[in-house]
A and B are shown apart, each in its own frame.
Chain A
Amino acid sequence: MKSAVIVFPASNCSRDAQVALEKITGRSVDMVWHEETTLPKVDFVVVPGGFSYGDYLRSGAIAARSPIVQDLVRKANNGLPVAGFCNGFQVLTESGLLPGALMRNKGLRFVCRPQKLNIVNKDTMFTAAYTHQDTITVPIAHFDGNYYADSTTLSKLKKNNQIVFTYEGNPNGSANDIAGITNEAGNVLGMMPHPERAIDPVHGGTDGLKLFRSVLESLR
């Protein structure tokens, strides 16, 4: 599996995503600068966490209009697997690849801690390897993680099994405890928690590894 990570000004989890992908695939990872207009030929793209463009205007808003994301949107709409973590999730909702929006946390505090998640849908290319686990613990670290969508969108997400992860103990006010969703086709995942920061015992846990393994195995 060839993979790429998009790098924006003030992305700060691009290196973590790179390390996770290298560990799982055993191959070097293309780091793609936001001003590029075309993605390299890869099988999987990660939109990383961070504070792209200083969160100016709205978190993820400016990144979602950058040249590389226009190509990402075109290719994701044609089936390219894409995952956005934290700021990456915000970029994916701002770009229109995923429904809804991420608002300021309900408690008006930056939350940064290990977070237990329920795996609501294991029948996705991002969660298939979690066969024997119903919950995982991965870090969260965000100010704008309060998932919002109107009631029609929320029922549609539930009906189509697009809700992949929910929080155990809602840390930010997200509608229906939503922590991560896919698009309708199932090839685009967005989640506020950081699986790429839970891939080595020194991180305090390795529950994030199987997410990357799921993608790898689904593409074999």
Chain B
Amino acid sequence: MKAIIQIGLKTGVLDPQGRTIARSLDHLGFKDVLAARQGKTIELDLKGDDKDAAQIAVKDMCEKLLANTVIEDYSIEIVD
């Protein structure tokens, strides 16, 4: 079982890296890009097969270490 965690800056928190990426895409001629946000993905290999328990445990991991909830949001996906 795996947990795939997406972490990104909260809406409203300025993301200078995302802004620079969007500007660079614009310079390359990709005129349909309105905005970019940069984040990170963390993949965890987990033992056991109880997805509900894993969801709860990974949420706890996000709150305690993986995300800084002052500035970041996260989403969790548990997959086989």
Task: Tell me the A residues contacting B by CB distance below 8 Å.
Answer: 57-58, 61, 65, 93-94, 99-101, 103-108, 148-150, 173
Say what secondary structure dominates the interface of chain A: loop
Asked if B57 is an interface residue, CB under 8 A from chain A, the answer is: no
Selected from B13, B16, B64, B70, the residue in CB contact (under 8 A) with A108 is B16
Selected from A100, A104, A107, the residue in CB contact (under 8 A) with B70 is A100
Chain B nearest Cβ from A142, distance in angstroms: 15
Is there contact, CB below 8 Å, between B14 and A173? yes
Q: With the chains together, A35 CA to B9 CA distance in Å?
A: 31
Contacts of A93 in B (CB 8 A): 70
Asked if B20 is an interface residue, CB under 8 A from chain A, the answer is: yes
Q: A59 — nearest CB in chain B belongs to which residue? A: B68
Is there contact, CB below 8 Å, between B71 and A101? yes
Is there contact, CB below 8 Å, between B71 and A173? no
Asked if B3 is an interface residue, CB under 8 A from chain A, the answer is: no
Interface centre among A58, A106, A107, A173 (most CB of B within 10 A): A58
Contacts of A106 in B (CB 8 A): 14, 16
Chain A nearest Cβ from B62, distance in angstroms: 12
Selected from B14, B20, B64, B68, the residue in CB contact (under 8 A) with A101 is B68
Asked if B17 is an interface residue, CB under 8 A from chain A, the answer is: yes
Chain A nearest Cβ from B44, distance in angstroms: 13
Q: With the chains together, A99 CA to B69 CA distance in Å?
A: 12
Contacts of A65 in B (CB 8 A): 64-65
Q: With the chains together, A107 CA to B20 CA distance in Å?
A: 10
Query: Contacts A148-B70, A148-B71, A149-B70 known; A104 to B17 CB distance under 8 Å?
Result: yes
What does the 1/0 interface line of B48-80 toward A look like (CB < 8 Å)? 000000000000000011101011000000000
Chain B nearest Cβ from A111, distance in angstroms: 13
- 7 smallest A-B Cβ distances: which pairs? A101-B70, A101-B71, A106-B16, A108-B16, A101-B68, A148-B71, A58-B68
Contacts of B20 in A (CB 8 A): 108
Q: A107 — nearest CB in chain B belongs to which residue? A: B16
Q: With the chains together, A152 CA to B66 CA distance in Å?
A: 24
What does the 1/0 interface line of B1-29 toward A look like (CB < 8 Å)? 00000000100011011001000000000
Known: A100-B70, A108-B16. 16 other contacts (CB 8 A): A57-B65, A57-B66, A65-B65, A99-B70, A101-B68, A101-B70, A101-B71, A103-B9, A103-B71, A104-B16, A104-B17, A105-B16, A148-B70, A149-B70, A173-B14, A173-B16
